[in-house]
């Protein structure tokens, strides 16, 4: 029975030691203090030492039992009275030992029951610690995730803040650019107003020059009209002289026709008046010389007038006809001579009229030429003035077109600037809205983060409180274990004292025997 109890005690102590080791591992995992771990190791070492002492005690008990059996065998040969005394003493010792052992067994059972309770409590605490450890790990993971999210949100917030700062810088630069553009627009407006004033002054000057040029042009047109009237009058005179020349040419043709008729008559009567022709050769020669001189004179005066040569030839033919008539008709010789003289006079008058008409025509032509030269000069002046006017108009038109183009380009630039400003304003409004949304999101994220941090802090506080409670329970268990160890050491001392007493009594009994 003693061996069974010792084996049970050994198993329970081993279990206690095993559970204490598990508790130590749990404490080590949960990062308790070094003193707690040392206390647990001390308790485990104490229990192991207690186990060794119990085993040693069992060995000693067995040894003493053997010794007592040997003594009992030796006592069998003793006298009956001594045996009875020894038996009575042994019975008394046994009874006292049994009562003490029973008492110790009861105390040990109570202690073992407490150890079992503590072991069960340790198991429960280990289970609770494992559960809390899992919950702690989950909370730690959630806390790490939350910290990661918070860091991510903080980084996003920093990124958004950087973007916001960049956007503010962009908006500031845009406003500065807009202000610069407005200043440039004002400067362009001032330049445009100055150019408009200069263009207006240039326009007034050009209008004045156009007015003066138009006045000169109207005066030149009046002068041209006067010259046209003079030219028309000269042309009218030329036409009149041409009519006179035509009449003279007609008379000449008539005389030519008459000369042809006379020539025919002379040819018919040529054969009849051959002798008279010889007599009149000298006169004919003189007449020929005279006609030649007349022709030379006519050629000298009018080289370009073939009509005078024809008239000279007509006069020569008439003289020939008259000579022939004189040959044929001596009676009519004087009349023919008179007619010839008359024709010569008429030819002279015609020559004189022709020369006079030629001189008048030359004068008229010279006058017309001078007037035409003046007209050409005036036309050239008018053309030059018209060209200058056209060039001035073109320059004015080009100036107006350039100003219009400048106005159009400036309006386009202003429109582009307005559109750019409107787009920048829209972008600024969108950025402001985005910034407001980011602020709201950041505020909501801060609220959620603060709420989560508060909840996590509450959970951590609860876990800390539970940890404190577990630490307090562990300390109480350690105190109880220390008390049990002290009680066990006291019981061990009592056992040693009882053992010493038993040995002394046995020695006394042996000595008495």
Contact call for residues 195 and 406 (beta carbons, < 8 A): yes
- pLDDT for res 276: 58
- pLDDT for res 2: 36
Condensed to tens digits (0 to 9), the pLDDT of residues 357-407 reads 556 556 665 666 666 666 666 666 656 666 665 666 666 566 656 666 766
Contact call for residues 340 and 322 (beta carbons, < 8 A): yes
Q: How far is CA 445 from CA 176, 407, 460, in A?
A: 34, 54, 21
Which residues of the chain fall below pLDDT 50? 1-8
- pLDDT for res 7: 47
- pLDDT for res 5: 45
- The count of domains in the chain is 1
Q: Is residue 504 part of a domain?
A: yes
Query: Residue 52's closest CA among 99, 87, 17?
Result: 17
21 lies in which domain range?
2-166+460-512
- pLDDT for res 8: 47
Q: How far is CA 270 from CA 197, 336, 338, in A?
A: 100, 16, 20
Q: How far is CA 135 from CA 132, 140, 147, 243, 471, in A?
A: 5, 8, 17, 143, 18
What are the backbone angles phi and psi of residue 444, rounded to the nearest 5°?
A: -65, -40
- pLDDT for res 102: 78
Q: Is residue 488 part of a domain?
A: yes
Q: Is residue 433 part of a domain?
A: no
**Distance in angstroms (rounded) separating the CA atoms of residues 326 and 201:** 94
Q: Is residue 77 part of a domain?
A: yes
Q: Is residue 55 part of a domain?
A: yes
- pLDDT for res 152: 81
Residue 291, Cα to own-chain centre: how many angstroms? Answer: 107
Q: Is residue 86 part of a domain?
A: yes
Q: Is residue 345 part of a domain?
A: no
Condensed to tens digits (0 to 9), the pLDDT of residues 323-340 reads 566 566 556 556 655 665
Q: How far is CA 157 from CA 268, 282, 434, in A?
A: 144, 146, 13
Q: State the distance between the two ends of the chain, measured CA to CA, in whole angstroms.
A: 31
Condensed to tens digits (0 to 9), the pLDDT of residues 69-100 reads 887 777 677 667 766 776 777 777 777 767 77
Torsion sign (Cα): 351, 352, 356, 357: negative
Q: Is residue 444 part of a domain?
A: no
């Amino acid at each position: 029975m003693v061996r069974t109890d010792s084996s049970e005690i050994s198993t329970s102590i081993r279990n206690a030691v095993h559970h204490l080791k598990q508790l130590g591992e749990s404490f080590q995992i949960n990062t308790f203090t070094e003193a707690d771990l040392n206390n647990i190791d001390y308790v485990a070492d104490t229990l192991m030492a207690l186990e060794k002492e119990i085993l040693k005690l069992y060995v000693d008990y067995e040894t003493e039992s053997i010794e007592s059996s040997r003594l009992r065998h030796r006592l069998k040969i003793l006298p009956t009275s001594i045996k009875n005394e020894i038996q009575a003493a042994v019975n008394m010792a046994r009874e006292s030992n049994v009562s003490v052992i029973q008492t110790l067994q009861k105390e040990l059972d109570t202690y073992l029951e407490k150890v079992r309770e503590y072991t069960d409590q340790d198991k429960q605490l280990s289970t609770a610690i494992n559960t809390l450890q899992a919950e702690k790990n989950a909370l730690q993971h959630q806390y790490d995730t939350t910290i990661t999210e918070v860091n991510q949100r903080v980084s996003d917030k920093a990124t958004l803040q950087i973007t916001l700062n960049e956007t503010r810088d962009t908006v500031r630069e845009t406003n500065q650019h807009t202000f610069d553009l407005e200043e440039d627009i004002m400067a362009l407006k001032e330049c445009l107003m100055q150019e408009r004033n200069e263009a207006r002054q240039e326009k007034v000057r050009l209008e004045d020059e156009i007015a003066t040029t138009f006045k000169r042009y109207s005066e030149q047109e009046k002068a041209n009209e006067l010259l046209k009237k003079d030219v028309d009058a000269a042309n009218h005179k030329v036409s009149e002289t041409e009519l006179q020349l035509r009449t003279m040419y007609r008379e000449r043709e008539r005389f030519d026709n008459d000369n042809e008729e006379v020539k025919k008559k002379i040819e018919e009567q040529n054969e009849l008046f051959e002798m008279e022709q010889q007599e009149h050769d000298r006169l004919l020669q003189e007449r020929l010389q005279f006609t030649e001189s007349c022709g030379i004179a006519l050629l000298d005066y009018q080289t370009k007038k073939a009509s005078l040569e024809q008239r000279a030839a007509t006069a020569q033919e008439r003289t020939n006809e008259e000579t022939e008539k004189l040959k044929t008709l001596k009676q009519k010789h004087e009349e023919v001579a008179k007619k010839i003289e008359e024709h010569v006079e008429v030819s002279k008058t015609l020559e004189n009229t022709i020369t006079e008409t030629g001189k008048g025509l030359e004068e008229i032509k010279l006058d017309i030429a001078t007037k035409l030269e003046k007209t050409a000069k005036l036309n050239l002046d008018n053309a030059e003035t018209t060209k200058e006017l056209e060039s001035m108009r073109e320059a004015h038109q080009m100036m107006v077109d350039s100003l219009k183009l400048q106005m159009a380009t400036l309006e386009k630039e202003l429109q582009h600037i307005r559109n750019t400003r409107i787009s920048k304003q829209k972008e600024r409004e969108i950025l402001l809205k985005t910034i407001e949304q980011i602020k709201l999101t950041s505020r909501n994220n801060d609220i959620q983060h603060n709420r989560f941090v508060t909840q996590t802090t509450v959970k951590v506080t609860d876990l800390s409180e539970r940890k404190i409670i577990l630490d307090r329970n562990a300390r109480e268990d350690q105190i109880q274990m220390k008390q049990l160890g002290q009680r066990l050491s006291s019981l061990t001392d009592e056992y040693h004292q009882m053992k010493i007493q038993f040995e002394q009594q046995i020695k006394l009994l042996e000595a008495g025997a």
